[in-house]
Chains A and B, each alone.
Chain A
C-alpha cells in the first residue's frame, strides 16, 4: 500500500468532503468518458456520474487502499451501469458481462451517435470513437479501460471481476471488432 492510497483510504473512511471535491475534479474527464462510451447516452452518463460519487461517499470505508483508486472507482461505475441497464432495459448495455451469450448486437441508433459526435471535440478522431459505439459493449469496455484509461490487465480484471485470460481474449476480439467496424465505416 503506498502512502498516497493509504491517505486516500483514510480520507474516504472519514468522508472528507474536501478530498471528495478534489477527486471529483481530478477524475471527471475519465469517469464521464467511460460512462458515456459505455452507455452511449449523455443524460444517463451524467446521472451515473453523480450516482458513482454518491456511492464513493457512502462506501468509502470499503476502499482499503491496496488497489488503485481508479480501479475501485470504475468498478463502482460499472456496477451502476449494469444496474441501470437492467432497470431501464438499455439495449446497448445488455450482455455487458456475457459476450458468450452471443445475441446479435444491435448498434445504437443514429441519434445516439450524433449526440456523441457533438461531445467528441476533435473531428479527425471521431471515426475511431464512432466505430467504438458500433462494437458490442463488452469489447468497447475493455478497449476503453486498456487504451483510454491505461489500466493494466490485472486492474481491468479487478474492475470487471473476471480472470485476466478473459480480459486478454476480449481485448484481442475487441481490437478485431473495432478494425472491422472502422473498415465498414470507411466503405
Chain B
C-alpha cells in the first residue's frame, strides 16, 4: 500500500543469503550444527591456517541445481569460484571464496502474487559462497570475541533483478523463496536464527524517469515484517531527502527494528574494492548432464505445483490451497490427514482452524503437533460417518491433544457416540417439550426463534450427542403439530 507521494516509484532488488543445511562445511569437513561451543566446529581450514586448502562439498552442488530448477534458471557448467578480498576479524582468510563470473545458477525468475495480480520477478543469479564467523561483544572488557564455528558454512546468495516495486512485493518474493528452499529441504530458512538473511537494495525515482536513482543497501532485517518496514522506511527517507533537494549517498545502512529506522554503517568507502579474481586453489566445476538429471529426478513437487494439484485433485479453494501449500510440512500433514479421512475440505478446515490455533497457542510447528495426522484423520472420519457430531469432535480433539489417546478409545470411554436413533431422539424431544410448556405456547403463537431454544435443550439433555440434523427434523415435525 503506497502511502508516499504518488509521483514516485521505488525500485527494489533483494539479495537473499540462504544457509544450506549440509552436515559439513562448504570447503572443510567440520560440522555445521547449530549451537556448539565456540570454535569447536572450526578446523584448521576454517581457521585459515598456513598451507591449508579448500575441498568442495558435493552436496552443495545438488542443492544449487535444485534451486536453479525451482527458479526456472540456467545451470552453468563449468562454474567456478573467485576470491572476494576484504579484511575483517571474522573472515579468517582475508578473502571469502565466492563466485564471480560463472555462478552456478543464472537467469531465472519467480512468479509472485501481488494485490494487482501475478508478477514475474527476474532472478539474476544464485551463487555459492562461504559464510563468515561471528563477533561477540559482551563480557570482553572493550574487546570482541571471534567464534569461527560459522565460518565456512555454505551459503547460496540469490540476487533478484531490480524488478520489485513495493515493500509488499518484496515480502511476497521473500516468502516465495522461503517456501521454495524449505520445500527443497536445502535450508530451514529461519530468519530469526540467520539461516536466511535478506539485504534490500532500494532506490527511488519519479515515475516516468528512465534512469535509476542512487541506491542504498539495507542490512540486518531478520523477519518478513521487518523487511517490509525497513524498505518502507527507506523509500520514504529517500523521497524525503530528494524532495528536500539533497542527494542520496550510495551506502550500506543498518535497520534498527526498535526505532524502525535505518542508519548508515560506519565503514570506509574505498575499502569496498573487493579485487575479485579466480580462485587458484579450486578448479572449474563441471556438472555432467547425468549428474544434473539425477539431481532433478529427486526434486520434490514445488509449492506452485502442489497448489494447483490441491485445487484440481481435492477441489480446495485457491485460498485454502495457497495456505496449505505454503509450508511443505503443513502440505504433507494435510495430505496425510486426507488419506485417512477422505474428506479434503473438512481436513483443510480442521488444520487451518482448530489445529492451527492450538499450535499457535503453544508455539509449536506442525511437526510437533500433539495430534498426529493419523489421529486427526480418524477424528474427521468419525464425523463423516456420523459416529460423533462436529461439536463433540472439538472436545475429543482437545482430549487427544492432552492425553494422546486414540480417537475410538476416547469415544468409547466417555460414551460420546452420537445418538442417531430416531426413537431415542423422539423421546428426548418429547421430554423437552413436556418440560417447557410456556416456550411451546410462545413458539406456536409465532416466536419462531424459540426453535433454537428447543434444539439447545435437546442437545443439553443428550449431552451434545444427539445428531443435530435428526434433532432438527424431528423437532420441526413435532412442533408443527
> A and B: partners?
no
